Chain A
């Protein structure tokens, strides 16, 4: 029986190649999208599933007024362990501050980043130790456990056990991003002894290139190299705490204890109020976002959002399948009739069509797995993904999941057509199919509804995509208000600015040099400060500030509207002068911003009086996505805040050789740090690459949704044409021309299209305005975008409809009228 079904199914698929191709293509692209999402979620689920005691490991969270934190106060661990051994078997703290920098062995310096962790780390977690004893590797002070990879980087093939290394700690982070080191100071940690090598290739939310024993910190404190405190209950960002519950105990047993501790420690305090939450290891990834995360990963909201997009695409493909199937099944009513007369029961016919649908889905899966290879490469290339723990390697279980998923999709898509087709009574089915009432009743409404839904979804996607592209384009072309062309920003990394400026300034390619505390527009930040005026002592204005030197304003070609720049002879200490932007002047109540020049304002907690000597136009100093049009900015002369040197070079000069000679000079001045620079224009572009990512993802999804919807439309019009064959014939015999017939056939779609416009435009306007208003700099949501969307949709829709109707209208009318 099954073989017979399979045979008929395959022959039908081969016989109707066009239909099968459209269906398989539509389903496979949408299945691909879903597979990628399944892969993502599955990969996330696999994170940390290798810990043998995983079901007993629980992370303690700090719930505060500022949100839910992944970290907890350091002393919590010992309080728990000492007080409640019947519930807790063990606990491990991982220090939240980063430890990292160049690891030095012989004359080799390898930059690595890691964490401090308690000695119970390897007893609780099942990271595999290739060398060393899990019970003791992190026990003694100055013990360091290297990952296999870092060990090979430092020692090559040498046996690392017992070797001693030094660490020049600059707080390098473990998050794979070339951010500024988290500490400005360097601490040399001497004589770390390698006690173990760990294989951390299995994915975990705890990421490190090495681990140092927590007991090292007290020793460092004695040496004066650390100011850590182990008894501060008020600092909940100090460490991450993972506890191992006793067998048979659950998080519920621990919760009341934590509540008690919270009450005992914080009830008396006014300004600190921490309660402790819990999450099981399996809830961490994927899981809700926590402040101060131990590693960056995809928040569960993103997964929800992606799943939603995937479902949208999948549903369109299923709609598509249903529509096309209805169209084609008309030609199969005879088969149903014959089978039923020969004794087939309804369920047998039903099963047959479901099987066919499942086969289509499985064939699509094969195509989809091929497409997935391409798609996952593109997806992994997305800029954002370098920050996330992504594991897309497939395994057997995954394939079972994929197949199960496809069978489900096939079954769902086939449900409606199969139940409809199997309901035919044999006599009716055997009559020519123009006699079957396909065009009336609920099902007809349902299919019209499907087409309408597809119209709406496509229109929404087209308008949204157009708007997003317009907005992104607007942002990418947005003038920052300074001239970023021909500028290189060099990170000072502790070198005195004057010295470096003197050395590098001798290069003939260099035009001007200035210094700043951060580079505007790249996400850097120096902080904000309170600003008041003598006239308005109660003003509650907080302004960002940037530390600059006297060359900064002319160097970046900021436009100075009034007053003067800092003079060359300005004293390095005792701040007395400041330059402000227009927004600040306006916010301080100067209706005519220029009039602020010469006034005295009070800045900082200590309200030190400074004179405003200059006024610049507003320029964008935040990230473009976060920038606000009227954000106040103080430009202060703060030599000890200088972190970057801005070098403007001659436009005609060879930048490559200029950088090379600069690097040589750098090496003479600083033997520890490497020369770090960014070409300003490119850095700004890179900062905005999240836009490019959004463009990719949304562009891709819209492309899919629109393509599939057009295919569905194609199927629907084929269906209309098929079911109206006879009517077309009669009309043509009585003198209707091709044009009239084609128009008459397309007419009903015009109404649906008009209805779709009425439904979609308000929704699209409302939904898109929500996100658009998040941007301070935003494109105008004009009627033209909507009009363009409608036009595109119209062209797409009418070309798919007309391709079918015109063909039908041109057919010989006798064909449609001939009875069997």
Chain B
């Protein structure tokens, strides 16, 4: 078991009322799964993803990640945990405009205390694997959206995470680019990486092994 959510609640107080963002979420994720989270706007998909990614807190319930109780961990431990095991892919790529492709890939490694030679090897490996060696010295603005997202995925993968969280990874891409990225996810999944993606498209969801539907913060079958 990679992670387990038990009776997760998350709410905000608005005008004296509790507004539930997540309501009684129970979810088990095994290693090697490829899960798609679906639901209309405002149903809590991104919130759920952020909770799983430990970027956001929840108000009630229990969360275990690799047998660690996340809800009981201190901020710093939690950060170490997601730093080590989780990679993020964003809808709008979130590459740093001031850094080249190579430097963008290297950036997460800087915060994980890899040595300079190690970093170089890992970056070269990634560039190779994604076939973007020729673009290593370009800046993100010089790339197409699909290429940018490719770099985004490569950056998420570079430190060998167990889990990739992708929030509408193809939301800003055209259909051909989307297919390319989804095929990549499929391949990564077959290599053993667990993936959880948020998506609006049935077609993308079909790449996954399981679909979770959310409505108003609640999981529906």
Whether the Cβ atoms of B99 and A8 lie closer than 8 Å is yes
Tell me if B27 counts as interface (CB < 8 A to partner A). Answer: no
Interface positions, chain B 132-180, Cβ under 8 Å from A, are: 155
Tell me if A342 counts as interface (CB < 8 A to partner B). Answer: yes
Tell me if A7 counts as interface (CB < 8 A to partner B). Answer: yes
Tell me if A671 counts as interface (CB < 8 A to partner B). Answer: no
Interface mask (A327-351 → B, CB under 8 Å = 1, otherwise 0)? 0000000110111011111001000
Whether the Cβ atoms of A342 and B99 lie closer than 8 Å is no
Complex CA distance for A4 and B32, rounded to whole angstroms = 35
Complex CA distance for A10 and B111, rounded to whole angstroms = 20
Nearest residue in A to B56 (C-beta to C-beta)?
A: A427
Whether the Cβ atoms of A8 and B50 lie closer than 8 Å is no
- Known: A4-B106, A4-B107, A427-B56. Is A342-B155 also a contact (CB below 8 A)? yes
Q: How far is the CB of A76 from chain B (nearest CB, A)?
A: 70
| Known interface pairs A8-B99, A339-B107, A343-B112; 19 further A-B residue pairs with C-beta atoms within 8 A, sorted by A's residue number | A4-B106, A4-B107, A4-B110, A8-B96, A8-B98, A11-B98, A12-B98, A335-B98, A338-B96, A339-B96, A341-B53, A342-B88, A342-B107, A343-B83, A343-B111, A348-B111, A425-B55, A427-B50, A427-B56
Tell me if B103 counts as interface (CB < 8 A to partner A). Answer: yes
Tell me if A414 counts as interface (CB < 8 A to partner B). Answer: no
Interface mask (A599-624 → B, CB under 8 Å = 1, otherwise 0)? 00000000000000000000000000
- Cβ 8 A contact of A339, one of B50, B111, B112: B111
Whether the Cβ atoms of A337 and B110 lie closer than 8 Å is no
Interface positions, chain B 25-69, Cβ under 8 Å from A, are: 50, 53, 55-56
Which residues on A sit within 8 Å (CB–CB) of B207?
none
Q: How far is the CB of B51 from chain A (nearest CB, A)?
A: 10
Tell me if B92 counts as interface (CB < 8 A to partner A). Answer: yes
Whether the Cβ atoms of A7 and B108 lie closer than 8 Å is no
Q: How far is the CB of A343 from chain B (nearest CB, A)?
A: 4
Tell me if B79 counts as interface (CB < 8 A to partner A). Answer: yes
Whether the Cβ atoms of B103 and A7 lie closer than 8 Å is yes
- Known: A335-B96, A820-B92. Is A4-B103 also a contact (CB below 8 A)? yes
Tell me if B90 counts as interface (CB < 8 A to partner A). Answer: yes
Which residues on A sit within 8 Å (CB–CB) of B55?
341, 425-427
Which residues on A sit within 8 Å (CB–CB) of B90?
430
Q: How far is the CB of B156 from chain A (nearest CB, A)?
A: 9
Whether the Cβ atoms of A15 and B110 lie closer than 8 Å is no
Tell me if A1 counts as interface (CB < 8 A to partner B). Answer: yes
Complex CA distance for A600 and B107, rounded to whole angstroms = 99
Q: How far is the CB of B104 from chain A (nearest CB, A)?
A: 9
**A-side interface residues toward B, CB under 8 Å?**
1, 4, 7-8, 11-12, 15, 334-335, 337-339, 341-345, 348, 425-427, 430, 820
Which residues on A sit within 8 Å (CB–CB) of B111?
339, 342-345, 348
Which residues on A sit within 8 Å (CB–CB) of B6?
none
- Cβ 8 A contact of A15, one of B94, B98, B103: B98
Complex CA distance for A653 and B180, rounded to whole angstroms = 99
Q: How far is the CB of A332 from chain B (nearest CB, A)?
A: 9
Q: How far is the CB of A604 from chain B (nearest CB, A)?
A: 85
In this complex, which of B56, B94, B103 has the most chain A Cβ atoms within 10 angstroms of its Cβ? B94
Whether the Cβ atoms of B106 and A338 lie closer than 8 Å is no
Q: How far is the CB of A717 from chain B (nearest CB, A)?
A: 25
Q: Is the interface of A mostly helix, strand, loop or mixed?
A: helix
Q: How far is the CB of A1 from chain B (nearest CB, A)?
A: 5
Whether the Cβ atoms of B94 and A1 lie closer than 8 Å is no
Whether the Cβ atoms of A430 and B98 lie closer than 8 Å is no
In this complex, which of B53, B55, B82 has the most chain A Cβ atoms within 10 angstroms of its Cβ? B55
Complex CA distance for A343 and B88, rounded to whole angstroms = 11
Which residues on B sit within 8 Å (CB–CB) of A425?
55
Nearest residue in B to A11 (C-beta to C-beta)?
A: B98
Complex CA distance for A101 and B155, rounded to whole angstroms = 84
Nearest residue in B to A349 (C-beta to C-beta)?
A: B111
In this complex, which of A1, A334, A341, A425 has the most chain B Cβ atoms within 10 angstroms of its Cβ? A341
Complex CA distance for A348 and B79, rounded to whole angstroms = 13
Nearest residue in B to A334 (C-beta to C-beta)?
A: B94
Q: List 18 A-B contacts (CB under 8 A).
A: A4-B107, A7-B99, A338-B94, A338-B95, A338-B96, A338-B107, A342-B107, A342-B108, A342-B111, A343-B79, A343-B82, A343-B108, A425-B55, A426-B55, A427-B55, A430-B90, A430-B94, A820-B92
Nearest residue in A to B158 (C-beta to C-beta)?
A: A342
Which residues on B sit within 8 Å (CB–CB) of A12?
98
Complex CA distance for A255 and B74, rounded to whole angstroms = 63
Q: How far is the CB of B215 from chain A (nearest CB, A)?
A: 22
Q: How far is the CB of A7 from chain B (nearest CB, A)?
A: 7
Q: How far is the CB of B90 from chain A (nearest CB, A)?
A: 7
Interface mask (B182-210 → A, CB under 8 Å = 1, otherwise 0)? 00000000000000000000000000000
- Cβ 8 A contact of A1, one of B56, B99, B110, B155: B110
Which residues on A sit within 8 Å (CB–CB) of B107?
4, 338-339, 342
Which residues on B sit within 8 Å (CB–CB) of A15?
98
Q: How far is the CB of B80 from chain A (nearest CB, A)?
A: 9
- Known: A342-B111, A348-B111. Is A337-B94 also a contact (CB below 8 A)? yes
Q: How far is the CB of B23 from chain A (nearest CB, A)?
A: 20
Nearest residue in B to A430 (C-beta to C-beta)?
A: B94
Which residues on B sit within 8 Å (CB–CB) of A334?
94
Complex CA distance for A15 and B95, rounded to whole angstroms = 16
Whether the Cβ atoms of A341 and B88 lie closer than 8 Å is yes
Which residues on B sit within 8 Å (CB–CB) of A426?
55
Interface mask (B69-106 → A, CB under 8 Å = 1, otherwise 0)? 00000000001001100001010101110110001001
Q: How far is the CB of A443 from chain B (nearest CB, A)?
A: 22
Top 4 A-B pairs ranked by shortest CB distance?
A: A343-B83, A343-B111, A342-B108, A11-B98
Complex CA distance for A337 and B88, rounded to whole angstroms = 12
Nearest residue in B to A426 (C-beta to C-beta)?
A: B55
Complex CA distance for A12 and B155, rounded to whole angstroms = 22
Nearest residue in B to A337 (C-beta to C-beta)?
A: B94
Which residues on A sit within 8 Å (CB–CB) of B103?
4, 7
Q: How far is the CB of A20 from chain B (nearest CB, A)?
A: 13
Which residues on B sit within 8 Å (CB–CB) of A8?
96, 98-99
Complex CA distance for A427 and B10, rounded to whole angstroms = 15
Nearest residue in A to B152 (C-beta to C-beta)?
A: A338
Which residues on A sit within 8 Å (CB–CB) of B83?
343
- Known: A7-B103, A427-B50. Is A345-B79 also a contact (CB below 8 A)? yes
Nearest residue in B to A1 (C-beta to C-beta)?
A: B110
Complex CA distance for A1 and B107, rounded to whole angstroms = 9
Complex CA distance for A205 and B139, rounded to whole angstroms = 62
